[in-house]
Structure 1
Amino acid sequence: MRRHRCNQVVRSDSETESESDAETMRCLSCKEEYAARDAGTCKECYEEAGETEEELKREIEDLKAKVAFLRFWSPLDHAHRGSPTSPGPVFPDVVLVAYDDGSPGLPPVPVPAHKAVLVNRSPVFKAMLENEMEESRSGTIKISDVSYDALRAFVNYLYTAEAWLDEQMACDLLVLAEKYHVKHLKGFCEKFLVSKLNWDNSLLTYAFAHQHGAKLVLDAALSLITDNMDKLTKKEEYMELVEKDPRLVVEIYEAYLSKQVNTAVHKDT
């Protein structure tokens, strides 16, 4: 199907010449003249644009239907914190346990899942569960330094590709996504963190992104910092970073100097 962009028109030479009694226009897509009464585009291109719009709508609906068909029902749709071992009709065959649950004195709460889903979503889980490792034999995967809520959200994402994020949850899920090589989730969290980036959180975000290899967040935070170098040393987080990880401070200044050099070169050319 021929596709055009007909949102602009130009007047033909006949406007200034009285060769025709009726004023004509020229379509920028097909370059053909048409009567001005058609107001904006030739009839053929207008109809073709309408067909294209309908075709795109059908494709979108088809994609939505495929996503709905392929979506797994998460065992978390049936298991709640008060009854974590009530799987309903989904029959999980493995549980994940958070060992930073924030509930002192209480046993860790398991998060039910299916081995087939974990193996399909993460190469780390795949290696863990397809070999004769402790997790494969026991059916329990212990994950340290993670809250129950973050682990639950992580497992739910593996089934649904959906997650509710705030800045803390985005950081927690990004760490899990990096650890278990879930690239789609990591990219999702990175985009969210970039959308929340501002001067106040720029240094902490930069340090976090550097630690976890979040390049999209790293580049955005570094760009914001180097654009505001006159305010950098006044930040409380700056002195903390100097003491804890001076290497990152050096990298910030190197990036700033590189930006200055590039700006000077562009001005000269």
Structure 2
Amino acid sequence: MSNCQGCRRTYWSYECGICKDCFVRWGKTVKVLQREIKELKDKIAFLRIPSPLDHHDQPSYTDVVLLTASDDGTPESSVPVPAHKAVLVNRSPMLKAKLENEMEEKQTASIEISDVSHDVLCEFINYLYTAEICLDEKLACELLELAENYEVKHLKAYCEEFLVSKLNWENSITRYVFAHRHNAKRLLLAAVSLITNNMSSFIERDEYMKLVKKEPGLLVEIYEAYLYKQISAVPRKSP
């Protein structure tokens, strides 16, 4: 049994999440919305560009490769990741600048992406084509940093939203530091809120002493946020 989204009455399972009476009353509107949703899905499927990494046995007509440092630190020995210039320049302002302005990239049709693993680079390129990805916390952090560096705002926001959903007391301090470094404002606010709600426990954490020694400026910002929260909680007296 469920509650109708229209009249909130309890009803036995029925199409579209509404009871039979509401379906009859709104049936035309529901059908129109269903048709519009289907049309949008069909349009997305039509416009979606397959990633060249999805079909290794078929020609993908790629015209550029991306390289990252391999285990020995040289891009020459890393496995190339194929892509299309047209996709890269429309997804990333930084990749567009590299392809348009740097002579080496023009001549060799290759782009070096440093400080990232081959697997993460593949996930990054796949996302530029499909806007789809299956995240875990480690991958989300790595992709957020890569998305920030290459100005892929949609991917950065997606990773940040995922990390906010995984935020807890145990990882709040490390996530706060990470968010501060990479200008992830939503994650920063969520982390500092969690920390300032648990200040008595905060000063007992090992990470607290690390902040004292290595990043006292961040510690000051946490205390400022805590002080502001305390002041805001005090009722104002009438004049």
Q: TM-score range by the shorter chain?
A: 0.7 to 0.9
What displacement does 1:164 show?
1.3
Paired with 2:172 and 2:122, the residues of 1 have a C-alpha distance of 28
Deviation per CA, 1:65-99: give whole Å up to 9, x if none.
111111111111134xxxxxx7x311111111112
Unaligned runs of 5+ in 2: 10-18
Paired residue total: 224
What displacement does 1:129 show?
1.2
Paired with 2:45 and 2:72, the residues of 1 have a C-alpha distance of 36
Paired with 1:260 and 1:46, the residues of 2 have a C-alpha distance of 50
Paired with 2:209 and 2:8, the residues of 1 have a C-alpha distance of 56
> 1:144 is paired with a residue of what secondary structure?
coil
Please tell me whether residue 70 in structure 1 is matched to residue 70 in structure 2.
no
Deviant stretches of 4+, over 4 Å: 102-106
The letter of the residue matching 2:50 is W
8 A Cα contact 1:75 1:92, kept in partner:
yes
What displacement does 1:8 show?
6.8
Paired with 2:66 and 2:6, the residues of 1 have a C-alpha distance of 56
Paired with 1:126 and 1:197, the residues of 2 have a C-alpha distance of 34
What displacement does 1:189 show?
0.2
> 1:77 is paired with a residue of what secondary structure?
coil
What displacement does 1:131 show?
2.5
What displacement does 1:268 show?
4.8
Instruction: Choose 130-139 or 220-229, whichever is displaced more.
Output: 130-139
Please tell me whether residue 115 in structure 1 is matched to residue 85 in structure 2.
yes
Q: Does the C-alpha gap of structure 1 residues 150 and 46 become closer, same or farther in structure 2, counting only changes over 3 Å?
A: closer
Paired with 1:102 and 1:52, the residues of 2 have a C-alpha distance of 58
Deviation per CA, 1:26-55: give whole Å up to 9, x if none.
xxxxxxxxxxxxxxx9x7x76442222212
Paired with 1:119 and 1:136, the residues of 2 have a C-alpha distance of 13
Q: 1:246 aligns with which of 202, 216, 237?
A: 216
Where does residue 173 of structure 1 map in the other structure? 143
Paired with 2:116 and 2:35, the residues of 1 have a C-alpha distance of 42
After the TM superposition, which residues 45-124 of structure 1 pair with which residues of structure 2 at under 5 Å, given as runs? 47-79=24-56, 88-99=58-69, 101-102=70-71, 107-124=77-94
Higher Cα radius of gyration = 1
Q: Does the C-alpha gap of structure 1 residues 92 and 7 become closer, same or farther in structure 2, counting only changes over 3 Å?
A: same
> 1:75 is paired with a residue of what secondary structure?
coil
- With normalisation by structure 2, the TM-score equals 0.86
Paired with 1:6 and 1:264, the residues of 2 have a C-alpha distance of 41
